A = this chain, B = another copy of it.
Amino acid sequence: MGSKINIGVIGYGYWGPNLVRNFAEIPGAQVTCVSDFKPELLAKAQARYPAIKVTRDSRDLLKDPTIDAIAIATPVSTHYDLALAALQAGKHVLVEKPMTTTSEQAMRLIDEAEKRNLVLMVDHTFVYTGAVRKMHDLIATKTLGDIYYYDSVRVNLGLFQHDVNVIWDLAVHDLSIMSYLLPSQPYAVSATGMSHVPGEPENIAYLTLFFANNLIAHIHVNWLAPVKVRRTLIGGSQRMIVYDDLEPSEKLKIYDKGITTVNGNTESVYQMLIGYRTGDMWSPKLDVTEALNTEGLHFIDCIQKGDRPITDGQAGLQVVKILEAATQSLKQQGKLIELNRVEVAA
């Protein structure tokens, strides 16, 4: 309780400033050092936070014995090396999503953190939003009944990436949300997609994920859409959700709708009698705390108590495994790729 957790942030490009700003507002933490290759970004950090040290060499952070934890906000291709070095230097780690570029790397990081008893957390930011936490409650309390499907559309114009396809860039959000919300993990994936710029990765893609118990999930991502859409439908046997992240105030709508089935008592037993049920709609008030603030508090709390984070290395690994399999399926125009369940030593 006494002293604050000292945090070093690697990368001050798009996401790093958000990390620094949020950790600066968390009572139990303070950012003491920021590193980035680009001097102009360091100058911005310095101007905004005169008390923070800056450096172009991330190794300076690892060598600094006063730093307890490292937050990594760099391109995904660098995550593994930076996170491994940080863990090996005895630092707790918060790493951007996707956690790594391969599942082997993710497993290696998990092992390293386990061995050293360090917190390894993946920045699956959406998991810490009021909307996703409310959906988690609704699903965990069986308010929706059995979950039938999860169906997300996440499209907009830009920002094309050169090193990863649209799945790694956009579907990663849905996969991290699903990993938190759904009652099980998928056993197989089929993905399709297309590139419309020669030599560049796929800019449009569709993923179907198969789960036990007739649960199916689908993710639709596109960098080349005329409008921005962030809309997820979740169907349950009792109720259904529309989650529209672009709605300013009514992001979640819960519909008391569904079907009722009875065996038809006709001579033929081939048909179910299906009835439709429609009731009220309800839009709950959501916690509007910035997700990164909630997440930062959780990271600090896990460090202080030695707890395992909600979005731990296993969650990160699970997402990377699906991204790998989806990309593999994409190359083969929808071929079903089985996912090995992650096996971890207790």
Q: Which residue of B lies closest to A255 (CB)?
A: B226
- Could you say which of A26-34, A112-120, A174-182, A186-194 contacts chain B? A186-194
Q: Is the CB of A190 within 8 A of B193?
A: no
A289 interfacial contact with B, CB 8 Å: no
Q: Among A11-19, A55-63, A78-86, A278-286, which stretch is in contact with chain B?
A: A278-286
**Binary interface profile of A, 17-52, with partner B (CB < 8 Å = 1, else 0)?**
000000000000000000000000000000010100
| B residues less than 8 Å from A241 (CB atoms) | 226
Contacts of A281 in B (CB 8 A): 250, 282-283
Q: For A246, what are the chain B residues with a Cβ–Cβ distance below 8 Å? A: 248
Contact between chains at A259 and B210 (CB < 8 Å): no
Which B residues touch A253, using CB under 8 A? 226
Contacts of A329 in B (CB 8 A): 334
In the bound complex, residues from chain B placing their C-beta under 8 Å from that of A334 are 190, 192, 208, 329, 334-336
Contacts of A155 in B (CB 8 A): 233
Chain A 74-105 against B: per-residue CB contact (8 Å), 1 yes, 0 no? 00000000000000000000000000000000
Known A-B contacts A160-B259, A208-B334; A225 and B240 likewise in contact (beta carbons under 8 Å): yes
Task: Indicate if A157 sits at the interface (CB-CB under 8 A).
Answer: yes
| A333 and B206 alpha carbons, distance in the complex (Å) | 14
Contact assessment for B224 and A272 in the assembled complex, using a CB-CB cutoff below 8 Å = no
A225 touches B216 (CB 8 A): no
- Chain A, interface size category, equals 35 or more
**Would you call A259 and B336 a contact (CB within 8 A)?**
no
The CA-CA distance from A255 to B281 in the complex, in Å, is 12
- A158 with B276: in contact, given A50-B50, A151-B222, A216-B193 (CB under 8 Å)? yes
Contact A279 B283 (CB under 8 A): no
The distance from the CB of A151 to the nearest CB of chain B, in whole angstroms, is: 7
Q: Which residues of B contact A274 (CB under 8 A)?
A: 158, 160, 197, 200
B240 touches A198 (CB 8 A): no
**What residues of chain B lie closer than 8 Å to A332, measured between beta carbons?**
336
Oligomeric state, in copies: 4
Q: Is A257 an interface residue (CB 8 A)?
A: yes
Contacts A281-B250, A281-B283, A335-B336 hold; do A235 and B225 have CB atoms under 8 A apart? yes
Instruction: Say yes or no: is A173 at the interface (Cβ < 8 Å to chain B).
Output: no
Known: A259-B160, A280-B284, A285-B280. A194 touches B206 (CB 8 A): no
Listed in ascending order, the chain A residues whose CB lies under 8 Å from chain B are 48, 50, 148-149, 151, 153, 155, 157-158, 160, 162, 188, 190, 192-200, 204, 206, 208, 210, 214-216, 218, 220, 222, 224-228, 233, 235, 237, 240-242, 246, 248-250, 253, 255-259, 261, 270-272, 274, 276, 278-285, 329, 332-336
14 sampled A-B residue pairs with Cβ under 8 A: A149-B196, A151-B204, A160-B259, A162-B271, A192-B208, A200-B274, A206-B206, A224-B240, A226-B233, A226-B235, A256-B285, A280-B283, A281-B283, A332-B336
